[in-house]
Amino acid sequence: MNKKRVGVIGGGQLAWMMATATEKLGIDLLIQTPHKDDPAVAIAHEVIFAPIEDAKATQQLAEKCDVITFENEFIDLEALEKLESHGVNFRPKLSALSPLLDKYQQRNYLKSINIPVPKFTTLERSSSSKFDFPLVIKARRHGYDGQGTFIIKNSEELNNLLKKVNNIPLMVEEHISFERELAIMVARNTKGEIVTYPVVETYQKEQVCHWVIAPANISETIQLEAKKIAGHLVSHLDVVGIFGIEFFLTAEGKLLVNEIAPRTHNSGHYTLDTCDISQFEMQLRAVTNQPLGSTELNCLGAVMVNLLGYENSHHDYQIKRQKMANLSNTYVHWYGKMESRPGRKLGHVTRLIHDNKIAPESMAKEIESIWYGDN
């Protein structure tokens, strides 16, 4: 039997973490990525070295693959649409990505299909809006891991920001005083089958996710509402693949969608160690016309902690990684990046919960004390 050949645009850790699933499913993974030291290069069947937005390279990738999916959304949509019109099979389809890549357009789209979002506008229109400080300003394209997101407390901070951004298109939104931040992974295949993973709680600091608790300690009503929103979104977009959805839960118990990631997502990394089918396998199952399968946890829960760079160095942090690995029921995933810099995601750690005697927050802080301690 011929192996399915799946192309992935992007060669970072999200593609790298597909490795176990490709072996399990009998898939050859072909990658388009710009750098020889990008994580997924080590596990790919074949690599086309080119920038993510290079559509000519994507054409070469398509000639070698049955289907192309995405590890990130830094693509040239218009150029890829020409390829799609000539028969290149993208999953999700580009029409499912089109309303989401620009954050302002994403918000407009969500609002148009009755998904609740914070109040928002463009920077150009904000002078006539009724937003009070603090407010949130986001770059409309290419923001990730907190980059391109700014919490603005007063007019002086706003003016200083505007001097720095050099006319980058920006979105302005109200600052939500939330009770907690939540996220959910949702997958859909070509037959319209939809599955959702448990709703998780994410802990953010300076707009960067530091840890995730799965499942979130929330009411069944909130869980069902999150799943309903997720199903509504992927059905309306006719998605084939997996999406991550981030929410604010307000003090009044209302869910507001913060952002959509049209791919695997940091909030779903825990699934590698807690589910029979990880989010990465689920993406590959969806795009290759396979049944999606179970999203159930095989333990009470888990804490996932991001290992964020805290210095500029070339270091593999082997001693710290071993200390974390020595903790009970703990799995260290190191992305093999050669260079550390502040805020860069170098790996993550998942710690399984087998009893409820220890608070998940304490488990996360123990891991962080090893990682950030003695710097």
- Does 181 carry a binding-site annotation? yes
As a whole number of angstroms, the distance between CA 52 and CA 308 comes to 24
**Cα-based distances in Å from 234 to 3, 96, 243, 244:** 28, 8, 8, 10
Q: Single out the residue of 142, 250, 125, 271 nearest to residue 198, CA to CA.
A: 271
56 annotated to bind ligand: no
Does residue 63 have a known ligand-binding role?
A: no
71 marked as binding residue: no
Q: DSSP assignment, residue 24?
A: H
Check the annotation: does 227 bind a ligand: no
242 among annotated binding-site residues: no
Tell me if 154 is assigned to a ligand binding site. no
258 is in an annotated binding site: yes
Handedness of CA 249, 255, 259, 265 (dihedral sign): positive
| H helix runs in 17-102, sequence order | 19-25, 55-64, 77-85, 94-97
Q: DSSP E strands: which ranges in 319-358?
A: 330-334, 345-353
Q: Which class for 211: exposed (0-12), middle (13-18), buried (19 or more C-beta within 10 A)?
A: buried
Token pair for 336 = 């093999």
Binding residues for ATP: 103, 138, 173-176, 181, 258-259
The binding site comprises 103, 138, 173-176, 181, 258-259
